[in-house]
A and B are shown apart, each in its own frame.
Chain A
Amino acid sequence: MLQKDLADAVGVTRQTINAIEKGDYNPSINLCIAICKALGKTLNDIFWEDDKNE
């Protein structure tokens, strides 16, 4: 899925998604949940950093 598609799905700009990916912006919990729903993943899968998922 492209950044643009995800951005359209959750109602933010592509630059916001890009900033989240790069770690330049900390999203609100509502935006995190919306991203997880759009991607079909859990919060742990996407936002929890460990050895396997960084």
Chain B
Amino acid sequence: MNKKGLDEMQIQKRNKIGNEAFIMIMYFLLIDAGLYGFGFRWIAYPANAITILAVCSGIYAARLIAGNAYAGPSENEKKPVLKTVFTCLASVFMAMLALTLIKTVRINDSQGINDLAAPIMLISGAIGIVVSVGISIIKRIQNKDHTE
């Protein structure tokens, strides 16, 4: 059997979760567009899409970890702490990069982005923490399920 990557059950779960996450993003964006059509703006333009994508990506990652479809069989031997730390750092870095790019390109009102930088960073950090806590809790629960 292939020992690299995910096994067959994990691949099935990942595909299912990915499809649902994709549909969820589409519906959130449609709801956002509908609210905008009714004149309700919860956040200015670039930040709303970024927030929706960040939230849905976080949910996708959390569900992958909860469903044990994030790390394959060969990854179990490695320490997940380093991977978790790198995931958190990467998520914060990506948020900073997105903010920098938006401010540099000046797609919209950059002052509005400055106002939203803190919440977006907070959300990214919170997602990272949720992912890391989720990993540790789920690992403990799954390791308790040992049977012969």
A2–B148 CA distance with the chains assembled, in angstroms: 5
Contact A31 B76 (CB under 8 A): no
Instruction: Name B1's contact: one of A14, A18, A31 (CB within 8 Å).
Output: A31
Residue B72 at the chain A interface, CB threshold 8 Å = yes
Given known A19-B9, A28-B8, contact A12–B68 (CB-CB < 8 A): no
Nearest Cβ in chain B — how far from A40, in angstroms? 17
B147 within 8 A of A: yes
Do the beta carbons of B147 and A3 come within 8 Å of each other?
yes
List residues 1-39 of chain A with CB under 8 A from any CB of chain B: 2-4, 7-8, 10-16, 18-19, 21, 25, 27-28, 30-31, 34
Chain B positions within 8 Å of A31 at CB level = 1, 8
Whether the Cβ atoms of A12 and B73 lie closer than 8 Å is yes
Per-position 1/0 for B1-43, Cβ under 8 A of A? 1110001111000000000000000000000000000000000
| Bound-complex Cα distance A31 to B2 (A) | 10
Taking A19-B9, A31-B1 as contacts, is the C-beta distance between A13 and B147 under 8 angstroms? no
Count the A-B residue pairs with Cβ separation under 8 angstroms: how many? 48
Interface size class of B (residues with CB under 8 A): 10 to 19
The interface size of chain A toward B, counting residues with CB under 8 Å, comes to 21
Task: With CB as the reference atom, state the residue of chain A lying closest to B148.
Answer: A2
Other-chain contact of B73, A8, A28, A34 (Cβ < 8 Å):
A8
B146 within 8 A of A: yes
What are some 21 contacts across the A-B interface (CB < 8 A)? A3-B147, A3-B148, A4-B146, A7-B73, A8-B73, A11-B7, A11-B73, A13-B10, A13-B68, A13-B72, A13-B76, A14-B142, A16-B7, A16-B8, A16-B9, A21-B147, A25-B9, A27-B8, A27-B9, A28-B8, A30-B1
Contacts A11-B3, A11-B73 aside, 16 further interface pairs with beta carbons under 8 A come to A2-B146, A4-B146, A7-B73, A10-B1, A11-B2, A12-B7, A13-B68, A13-B76, A14-B142, A16-B7, A16-B8, A16-B9, A18-B147, A21-B147, A25-B9, A34-B1
